[in-house]
A and B are shown apart, each in its own frame.
Chain A
């Protein structure tokens, strides 16, 4: 019970931001949530949002993990996904025949490459103690050239039904495949967090590396692991991106997505200095960014002004999410509760568990 509440309070801000955006969309047109079935698949704003944000969601999850343990961000995610997807395309096209088997093989190959890139970044960060932002700048800078070479200096084309179905929809399945893949990924990641101590370990390392070590955790390994998992995330995101695109464009594929992934983590309420994190928050953050982009289009914002609008909105977002405003909001809730004389229990949005812990309430009354 207490857990649900504390969990909810952490997610209150990203959720409220998302709600405000949706409200704006509803004001613009009440048909915002309407969903129809086209070609046997669900169609509408919601499916479009889920479809469009799939790569970002996956990369935001990896980014959250890296941020938590390494206390800094991985700038190479978009570029790494470009490399892994180049490998995917290369292996698939070299295989000659495109079947589910060769697609799976090519995907696994791209995962291996993703893990290798993660290992490389991890080696620099965890073993050589290079700042993650600096370390990942290497792949960021050189990666697209590497992808270009893997592409054989052309942008290869995946004109076939199977990869098209992965990037759009499989006949008879009412939900677009990238949405399903993203959901599967999120579920698998949730299982990973449930069946391992990844969260406890990386939070511990991120908060206090020395204490973590004195409690038997190997910080080097945890950071390595975070980057390797990030490698898998980039492979999956690259796979979805390239099947959506139908061809591999080493120059522009997933360009600048690293910034959105970092932003998603920040909106989700995890500190960019590492430590505690909320994967759910980051996922909501990713969808919020996607909704924001689409809202600006829906409001017919002039293309020249779109960047400025986005910047203003992000500033507002960050101000709302800032510790100072959180505290203020907490005081506000307290104020309201005081006025109501404790007759009504208002679930605090921001306060600690203690505020909603019935035990402590009783003890407080006793003392009065």
Chain B
């Protein structure tokens, strides 16, 4: 599905990713953990080309999509790979319904009726149909994030990337967002999630990657990595997120 080959990323002298090799398979849920500044968000952003690797390449379904490729290939990749952001990034000048239907109409060329039908169906699944005509500013963070998730889903992506989707939320709203994500994982969606939510990783994660200092230091199943990590750095990090 998505493959990173020897991906390096640096900004000037600052090397953020050292040498990343990674393959995300169809239907897999990959969880990325790591200290802040370790490069985990940058790693995620390479996958849908919001940032281009300095060297190495990114392949989607076997095709190289990074580097000097036609803009249309990058755009098509965006279309295949949805993304959910820490700060939701709903469009404040559109209603909830418009937020969800805009890209399906403009990019997938659905007609208005079909796009709205799809949006209402998705809104129904997260219990927010009554908010369809609201503007994002009038919604709670948890509601905005759930809408951001279905906005990405409305494009029917092959993979969804999540960049710390619950970090900007008040504690009481974390669960409602995680529930939507867990349901998605159970439905077979391919997901790559940067998060420190252990419960989520344990329940639906197939693989956990520990990223430290621009490298994938260790990867294993959630059970193994949370209870018997091989690397000392991993164990120390996991003990910190478990007991704070």
Genuine A/B complex:
no
Instruction: Tell me the A residues contacting B by CB distance below 8 Å.
Output: none
Instruction: Tell me the B residues contacting A by CB distance below 8 Å.
Output: none
